[in-house]
Chains A and B, each alone.
Chain A
Amino acid sequence: MSDAPATARSRRTAARARGRGPGRRYNLWLGGLLIGTIVAGALLGFVWSPHPPNTMDFTAQLQPPSAEHWLGTDHFGRDLFSRLLVGARGTLYVGFIAVGIALVAGTALGAVAGFAGGLLDEAVMRLVDVLYAFPAILMALLLAAVYQPGTLTAMAAIGIATVPIFARIARSSVLSIKEREYVEAGRALGLGEGRILWRHVMPGAVGPLVVQASLSLAVAVLAEAALSFLGLGTPPDVPSWGNMLREAQGFLAMSPYPAFVPGLAIVWTVLGWSLLGDGLRDLLDPCTV
């Protein structure tokens, strides 16, 4: 009987060493909490906000936080908290779509290249190399020149610029998994190449891709804010955190709140995604801890 606590203790220690114990999961919990609040805020914005986010009130310009305006007001007297809620929606929306595009396209490219090998692999990797030369902001400049700046071009730019990361991860995972014995066994059983790739190889690559998706969401939030700040993202009439920062720039000397509030929201969200990504990596791939 006296061995039971010791066994439980050693199990906990082993779990911690594998990155699965509660001691290692603080990244996951904290990241989840930070993102949870942003998602909750974005959802809340659909049904309720203390003030209409675009209604101007010239009697309450650049107000500090108060009972009436919880986070203060901007230079048009618009409520910062209400605009923050609406901005959260756009931030999540752009991030999810952009990373979704990259995840699907990058994984497909990398997986097929790694599995097929040969010339196709070489051609896909050259394409990936070229895409590396166009980070999100550069891609956005190019797309904005062709199609005019906007949410869609920002999403496409962030998505295309993120494709190479997923392609490389998918390719390297597939390259290592396709040599395993069970894949060979599948071939010996007469399974088609497509089926082997989809049913037997890809499930092994899911872990690193999920981790990268979370980390890429952090980068996407930063990129979306930067593009909106430059006027290459969300249109000026739609509240977004980057737009709020751009507008606040001209009034810094009069009130810091219009700049503080969206900036802190960006930091909060980026930190959330990156902690979540780290936590997922600890959980799914403890060897890297």
Chain B
Amino acid sequence: MLAFLVRRFLTAVLSVLLASVVVFGALLAVPGDPATVILGMNASPAAREALRTQLGLDRPPVERYVSWLGGVMRGDMGESLNYQRPVAGLIGERLRVSVPLAVGAALVACLLALPLGIFAALRRGTVWDPLVTSLSQLGAAIPSFWLGLIFILYFAVELRWLPASGFVPLGEDPVRWARSLVLPVLALGLGQAAVMTRMTRAAMLEVLSQDFVRTARAKGVGQRGVVLKHALRNAMVTIVTILGISLSNVFIGSIVIEQVFALPGLGRLALTAIGTRDFPLLQGEILLYAATIVGLGFLVDVSYGLLDPRIRYE
């Protein structure tokens, strides 16, 4: 197991390192002089020179990359050009919005998709299976940001049950914090639930058609035992993959949802950074998103090894 863990960890670290090269390399690919691109043509030569020094453009690219990466490893992602504050601090503040949003949406997706997917698989051949399958296919086709707009229209504008936009910090007022997140979480989570329902159903159907399930039934194991002890346990590898994909998807999907509900999260920060050509901030944010996706993939791989001993010995 240790060798499996070390191998997977090294692969994940290599992926993050390569991702950091891509993110850092993007600044090098900016056509023309980045300082002029950021400050505009009307900036004074002195201002441009100062920015070049701040961005480290007067040093060789490899030296800049090593210095930036060293900083990132120590938690120093440089200083935002727009906010004139450390990038890590800005990201930390915005995570307080984006993390609850993504985790809440992933929870909604799992709580709906797992029972529905298993239910559809167990009811194959009845009217329930095509009903759940068709609804999940339709749900997967609905863009989360459009669903968000529809929710705003009905639950905020028409019924006035929940706020249409904005965010209240948890420390300030927990009830208003929860209310400000309900619609975004549902908009993000429901679409993901639809995708996951189909995947869970497929995973369960595959396991239910295996010989050991037939053997368990032949031995007289009841439906509950077959599902919980045999089928679900063996479908867990696929279901864990689905969870990993789901968390990555909602984390990235939150970029759009934050825009719909005017939530001051990482996504809105990134869009502001693009508007103001704040490269240090954008680099830090994109690397964080990419590293999170790689990290989730690593956790999924590790859980494979824990759930199915055959995988760790492959």
Chain A interface residues toward B at CB < 8 A: 126-127, 129-130, 132-135, 137-138, 141-147, 149, 218, 222, 225-226, 229-232, 245, 248-249, 252-253, 256, 259, 263, 266-267, 270-271, 274-275, 278
B145 contacts A229, C-beta separation under 8 Å: yes
Q: A79 to B270, alpha carbons, bound, how many Å?
A: 33
Known: A133-B15, A133-B19. A259 touches B274 (CB 8 A): no
Chain B interface residues toward A at CB < 8 A: 11, 14-16, 18-19, 22-23, 26-27, 29-31, 137-138, 140-143, 145-146, 149-150, 152-153, 157, 248-249, 252, 255-256, 259-260, 270-271, 273-274, 277, 279, 282, 285-286, 289-291, 293-294, 297
Q: A248 to B153, alpha carbons, bound, how many Å?
A: 11
A222 contacts B143, C-beta separation under 8 Å: yes
CB distance from B22 to the nearest CB of A (A): 7
Known: A126-B18, A137-B255. A226 touches B145 (CB 8 A): yes
Q: A19 to B138, alpha carbons, bound, how many Å?
A: 22
Known: A135-B293, A256-B153, A259-B150. A146 touches B137 (CB 8 A): no
20 pairs, CB–CB < 8 Å, chain A vs chain B: A129-B15, A130-B15, A133-B16, A135-B248, A135-B249, A142-B286, A143-B26, A144-B274, A145-B273, A145-B282, A146-B27, A149-B274, A252-B153, A253-B153, A256-B153, A259-B146, A259-B153, A267-B138, A267-B142, A267-B146
Excluding A142-B286, A145-B277, 16 further A-B contacts by CB distance (< 8 Å) are A126-B14, A127-B18, A129-B15, A130-B18, A130-B22, A135-B293, A145-B26, A146-B26, A147-B31, A149-B274, A252-B157, A259-B146, A266-B143, A267-B138, A267-B141, A271-B141
Residue of A nearest to B148 (CB): A249
A132 contacts B293, C-beta separation under 8 Å: yes
A141 contacts B22, C-beta separation under 8 Å: no
Consensus secondary structure, chain A interface: helix
A230 contacts B271, C-beta separation under 8 Å: yes
Residue of B nearest to A136 (CB): B252
Q: A126 to B11, alpha carbons, bound, how many Å?
A: 8
Q: A253 to B26, alpha carbons, bound, how many Å?
A: 41
Q: A133 to B248, alpha carbons, bound, how many Å?
A: 9
Chain B residues positioned under 8 Å from A253 (CB to CB): 153, 157
CB distance from B221 to the nearest CB of A (A): 27
Chain B residues positioned under 8 Å from A225 (CB to CB): 143, 145
For A133, give its contact among B29, B30, B31, B293 (CB under 8 Å).
Answer: B293
Q: A245 to B149, alpha carbons, bound, how many Å?
A: 9
For B149, give its contact among A129, A145, A249 (CB under 8 Å).
Answer: A249
B149 contacts A138, C-beta separation under 8 Å: no
B149 contacts A252, C-beta separation under 8 Å: yes
Q: A222 to B291, alpha carbons, bound, how many Å?
A: 24
Q: A124 to B30, alpha carbons, bound, how many Å?
A: 26
B23 contacts A142, C-beta separation under 8 Å: yes
Chain B residues positioned under 8 Å from A138 (CB to CB): 252, 286, 289-290
Chain B residues positioned under 8 Å from A271 (CB to CB): 137-138, 141
CB distance from B181 to the nearest CB of A (A): 19
Known: A129-B15, A138-B290, A271-B138. A146 touches B146 (CB 8 A): no
CB distance from B6 to the nearest CB of A (A): 17
A274 contacts B297, C-beta separation under 8 Å: no
Chain B residues positioned under 8 Å from A278 (CB to CB): 137
For A141, give its contact among B15, B282, B293, B297 (CB under 8 Å).
Answer: B282
Chain B residues positioned under 8 Å from A245 (CB to CB): 145-146, 149
B271 contacts A248, C-beta separation under 8 Å: no
A270 contacts B141, C-beta separation under 8 Å: yes
CB distance from A59 to the nearest CB of B (A): 25
CB distance from A241 to the nearest CB of B (A): 9
B290 contacts A134, C-beta separation under 8 Å: yes
CB distance from B10 to the nearest CB of A (A): 11
B256 contacts A230, C-beta separation under 8 Å: yes
Chain A residues positioned under 8 Å from B145 (CB to CB): 225-226, 229, 245
